[in-house]
Structure 1
Amino acid sequence: MTPQTIKVACSNCNLRELCMPLGLSEEQLKRLDEVIAVRRKVKRGGTLFRNGEPFTSLFAIRTGFFKTCVATEDGRDQVTGFQMAGEIIGLDGIVSDRHTCDAVALEDAEVCVMPFENIEELSREVKALQHHVHKIMSREIVREHGVMLLLGSMRAEERLAAFLLNLVQRLHARGFSQSELVLRMTREEIGSYLGLKLETVSRTFSKFVEEGIVEVKQRHVRIVDANALRNIVNSQQARH
């Protein structure tokens, strides 16, 4: 079945500030609307793109939550990232013209399809757009680097604290609460991303609950003491 496609208008989108550069003229926005003419729905558990598929488009997530993952040699799924509404997904394909991971919806989602060829063409004319695309790519590189540092040197509680702070900060930028979040991913997926065993993730969550740092009800997490989480992360940096 082909994914449902709907006509979309960037100029009326409430995620515009997150996805697209500010200060575009009406004419430029109109051009952008013509480039990004299609929306696509992905059901929970469905795949937006797969490792090895030809890269043709970037995707702006309108609603929903994704994970990117790669299959390891022993057949396990290694989670490489989590992406949420207002973020761009698919940048992995730019280098070799093929996607290097699978993108799986963790809940029903909707994305705007942004054909890369058209975006590049328009970027040459609209410098603000070119700068914005570079900024998005740079942000991804910085985030990847952060994850590598996280996995290279942090203890379990430091990894989980940094993960929760990063998630809540990204959600807050999208107008959500600074202290409450619903985890769209499983404990196992968090473990895969952070390089921790499932038991370690569960044990670390329990430790945070005991210490009064967070409250957890199934997938609902409330950060009671954000400073305590920051101190956990900063204590690691102080050691180096």
Structure 2
Amino acid sequence: MDLHRIKVACSSCNLRELCIPMGLAPEELEQLDNLIATRRRVRRGGTLFSAGDPFTALYAVRSGFFKTSVTTADGRDQVTGFQMAGEILGLDGIVQDKHACSAIALEDAEVCVLPFDKLEQLSRAFSTLQHHVHRIMSREIVRDQGVMLLLGSMRAEERLAAFLLNLVQRLHARGFSKSEMVLRMTREEIGSYLGMKLETVSRTFSRFQDEGIIEVKQRYVRILDPAALEAIVNHNPAHDD
């Protein structure tokens, strides 16, 4: 893992609307530019931080893709999330001053390092930044609740349909296609995240392809019928008998 101490200009970053600096005034952006003096590169398969590491910073993903995971009591790795450019890693460490999960790069990636003590100081000075940090935390809570809903009340096809729609929508917000994507995670990692066995994930992908909803070529996925995916997600289990 390479550590580069170079100036990162938030004010000119093409991810600024998805990241911390949203809505900041020019003078506030300048101070944030001074705060974020480090980028860190993480090679594919490398670890940004591990569960139990001291919490010192938040990390804004500048490029690449990450997964977060925890180790269960029986020694299995449980995937808890996937993060892409413009999203924040490390919020799990705030409560106990140490990270509760590990963050692993699924492809070569780069993050901007935001020292948390300095970020807190700046947030107290600029209410806009403080409000945005709170919004980021709230977004993570909502996302966690969404995952709990996936795992608690949805059937396998509903879980995978919701996952694909969420992923392509997040990618589209970053300027990518609204119908095509390359999955950076394996089928096994998708299954771990969605609480599905590998065979179930593969079988559900095949079913969606057979029904003409998606086209799949290894990790390439093209959504042919987004309305059909939406219909699967919004399916009412009460009519399932």
Q: TM-score, normalised by structure 1?
A: 0.96
- Offset from partner CA, 1:95-146 (integer Å, 9 cap, x none): 1111000000000000000001111100111111001000011011001000
The answer to whether the 8 A contact 1:19-1:86 is kept is: yes
| Cα distance in structure 2, aligned partners of 1:191 and 1:93 | 25
- Offset from partner CA, 1:183-225 (integer Å, 9 cap, x none): 0000000000000000000000000000000000110000000
Letter in 2 for 1:108: D
| Cα distance in structure 2, aligned partners of 1:73 and 1:25 | 47
How do 1:196-211 and structure 2 match up within 5 A? 196-211=196-211
2:104 matches 1:78: no
SS in 2 for 1:54: coil
| Cα distance in structure 2, aligned partners of 1:189 and 1:201 | 10
SS in 1 for 2:107: coil
Give, in angstroms, the shift of residue 88 of structure 1. Answer: 0.6
| Cα distance in structure 2, aligned partners of 1:150 and 1:189 | 16
- Aligned partner of 2:112 in structure 1 is 112
- Aligned partner of 1:194 in structure 2 is 194
2:169 matches 1:137: no
- Aligned partner of 2:44 in structure 1 is 44
| Cα distance in structure 1, aligned partners of 2:146 and 2:229 | 17
- Aligned partner of 1:227 in structure 2 is 227
Percentage of identical aligned residues: 74
RMSD: 1.5
The answer to whether the 8 A contact 2:61-2:88 is kept is: yes
Give, in angstroms, the shift of residue 40 of structure 1. Answer: 0.4
How do 1:46-195 and structure 2 match up within 5 A? 46-195=46-195
Give, in angstroms, the shift of residue 7 of structure 1. Answer: 2.5
The answer to whether the 8 A contact 1:156-1:196 is kept is: yes
Which runs of 5 or more residues in structure 1 are unaligned?
Answer: none
- Offset from partner CA, 1:74-104 (integer Å, 9 cap, x none): 2211000000001011110111111000000
The answer to whether the 8 A contact 1:158-1:236 is kept is: no
The answer to whether the 8 A contact 1:57-1:116 is kept is: yes
| Cα distance in structure 2, aligned partners of 1:110 and 1:228 | 35
- Aligned partner of 2:18 in structure 1 is 18
| Cα distance in structure 1, aligned partners of 2:181 and 2:38 | 30
Give, in angstroms, the shift of residue 5 of structure 1. Answer: 3.7
Which runs of 5 or more residues in structure 2 are unaligned?
Answer: none
Total equivalences in the alignment: 240
The answer to whether the 8 A contact 2:21-2:29 is kept is: no
Letter in 2 for 1:15: L
Give, in angstroms, the shift of residue 25 of structure 1. Answer: 2.4
Give, in angstroms, the shift of residue 17 of structure 1. Answer: 1.1
SS in 2 for 1:22: coil
Distance 1:210 1:105, change over 3 A: same
After the TM superposition, which segments of 4 or more aligned residues of structure 1 sit over 2 Å from their partners?
Answer: 1-7, 20-26, 236-240
- Aligned partner of 1:212 in structure 2 is 212
The answer to whether the 8 A contact 1:38-1:112 is kept is: yes
